[in-house]
């Protein structure tokens, strides 16, 4: 990587047409293929391949010249390699947002992603349309025939995000020729799919018959894995002539 950085630190005023907007480019990965040639000793030559993943916000055509110097005899020609790459790129504008209920059935419609990204249906396959769910597996997929984003497998909000107030699946859409990258957020909305649970199904209390009226005995409350209104709990006691239930207004013991 140090060699790579040095090659791209060339003075743009001296080595035209090196792009001035270097900060707008993120070189995602670098592969090197090395071989040796015999010429008054051994010189090592490297050939590099670059992959772009983030681009300037304006469509541009640029020619990058990469120069590499010999590490052999100082009298030998210093220029061993001149590699010219024509890079054409265009970034996707804005960010698309959708929402879907957790536990939605397979095939549930989420959004017309191709249309919303400004992509034509007939170009999805030739441009090698790819959907990257950032490690979320195959929860969502795109039908390349109609450009629709749909639910592909079970989405459990609690499994994805726990009790977090916000839960989203972040998608990256990549198309080629020219290379474009779009970012899509799909909010996963909570449903009331988890029953409240007590720590134990039975609790035994030993009470002396001499205890006065209005004596209190704390009980541990239940918990619900859902959030918001779906996590609100209410308690009631089966009718009897000896006890009543005092329900607190906060997360205190019952």
18 with 100, same domain? no
90 and 180 Cβ atoms separated by less than 8 Å: yes
**What is the band of 94 on the pLDDT scale with cuts at 50, 70, 90?**
low
198 with 126, same domain? no
- Pick the last residue of a domain from 166, 189, 212: 189
Position with higher pLDDT, 129 vs 54: 129
The average confidence (pLDDT) of the chain is 70
**125-128: Cβ within 8 A, 24+ apart:** 126/177, 127/175, 127/176, 127/177, 128/174, 128/175, 128/176, 128/177
Share of the chain above pLDDT 70, in %: 60
| Cα(60)–Cα(41) distance, integer angstroms | 42
Average pLDDT over residues 78-105: 61
| Cα(171)–Cα(173) distance, integer angstroms | 6
Q: Give the number of other CB atoms < 10 A from CB of residue 147.
A: 19
103 with 139, same domain? yes
The pLDDT, as a whole number, for residue 240 is 85
The pLDDT, as a whole number, for residue 249 is 67
pLDDT at residue 185 above 60?
yes
Q: Which two tokens stand for residue 119?
A: 């992509």
CB within 8 A of 237, min separation 6: which ones? 243, 244, 245
Across 32-41, 131-140, 174-183, which has the greatest mean pLDDT?
Answer: 174-183
Average pLDDT over residues 44-50: 38
pTM of the prediction?
0.54
Average pLDDT over residues 31-43: 38
pLDDT at residue 173 above 50?
yes
Domain around 10: 2-89
pLDDT digits (tens, 9 = 90+) for 192-232: 877 888 888 888 888 888 888 888 888 888 877 887 777 77
Domain count, the chain: 3
185 with 201, same domain? no
- Pick the last residue of a domain from 189, 209, 238: 189
The pLDDT, as a whole number, for residue 253 is 47
DSSP 155-209: --HHHHHTT-S--EEEEEEEETTTBEEEEEEEEEE--S-S--B-S-S-------T
User: What separation, in Å, do the N-terminal and C-terminal C-alpha atoms of the chain show?
Assistant: 61
CATH number reported for the structural domain that contains residue 169 in this entry: 2.60.40.60
- Pick the last residue of a domain from 151, 172, 189: 189
Q: Which two tokens stand for residue 123?
A: 């170009």
202 with 240, same domain? yes
pLDDT at residue 176 above 60?
yes
pLDDT at residue 96 above 80?
yes
């Amino acid at each position: 990587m140090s060699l790579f950085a040095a090659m791209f630190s060339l003075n743009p005023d001296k080595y035209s047409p090196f792009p001035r907007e270097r900060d707008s480019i993120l070189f995602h990965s670098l592969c090197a293929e090395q071989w040796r040639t015999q010429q008054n000793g051994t010189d090592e030559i490297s050939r590099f391949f670059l992959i772009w993943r983030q681009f300037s916000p304006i469509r541009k055509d640029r020619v990058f010249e990469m120069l590499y110097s010999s590490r052999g005899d100082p009298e030998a020609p210093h220029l061993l390699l001149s590699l010219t790459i024509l890079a054409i790129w265009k970034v996707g504008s804005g960010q698309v947002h959708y929402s879907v209920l957790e536990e939605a059935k397979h095939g549930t419609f989420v959004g017309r992603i191709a249309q919303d990204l400004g992509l034509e249906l007939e170009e999805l396959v030739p441009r090698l349309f790819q959907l990257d769910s950032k490690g979320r597996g195959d929860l969502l997929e795109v039908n390349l025939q109609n450009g629709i984003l749909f639910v592909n497998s079970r989405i459990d909000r609690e499994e994805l995000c726990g009790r977090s107030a916000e839960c989203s699946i972040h998608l990256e859409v990549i198309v080629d020729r020219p290379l474009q990258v779009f970012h899509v957020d799909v909010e996963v909305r909570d449903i009331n799919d988890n029953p409240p649970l007590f720590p134990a199904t039975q609790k035994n209390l030993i009470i002396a018959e001499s205890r006065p009226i209005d004596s209190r005995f704390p009980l541990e409350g239940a918990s619900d894995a859902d959030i918001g209104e779906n996590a609100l709990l209410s308690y009631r006691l089966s009718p009897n002539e000896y006890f009543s239930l005092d329900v607190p207004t906060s997360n205190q013991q019952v």
